[in-house]
Amino acid sequence: MFFIFGIGPKTKVIQKSQFVCPVCRSRSAYELKQQRNYFSLFFIPLIPLSKAKGEFVTCLNCGMTMPSTVLNHAQSN
């Protein structure tokens, strides 16, 4: 009998909304995501091993990934 296990990142969508993307310069939808390392068994993430590494934003129009600070800048305009 053998076990396939490992440690790897898992990404979770925290928030979905709209903003003005600084890359494609259009009003589009975005996803705010968070990533953590998990212990996985048979490719199924089971136990979180770390706190959230940070948040990042993905523009659903152009597909660009940016730091979450873009949302603060977009809201101040």
Q: Counting Cβ atoms within 10 Å, is residue 6 exposed (0-12), middle (13-18) or buried (19+)?
A: exposed
Report DSSP state, residue 50: S
CB 71 within 8 A of CB 19: yes
Per the structure, the count of domains in the chain is: 1
* Distance, CA of 71 to chain centre: 14
pLDDT at 75 over 70: no
Quote the domain boundaries for residue 64: 5-76
Would you say the pTM of this structure is higher than 0.75? no
CB 20 within 8 A of CB 74: yes
pLDDT tens-digit series, residues 29-63: 999 999 999 999 888 888 888 888 889 999 999 99
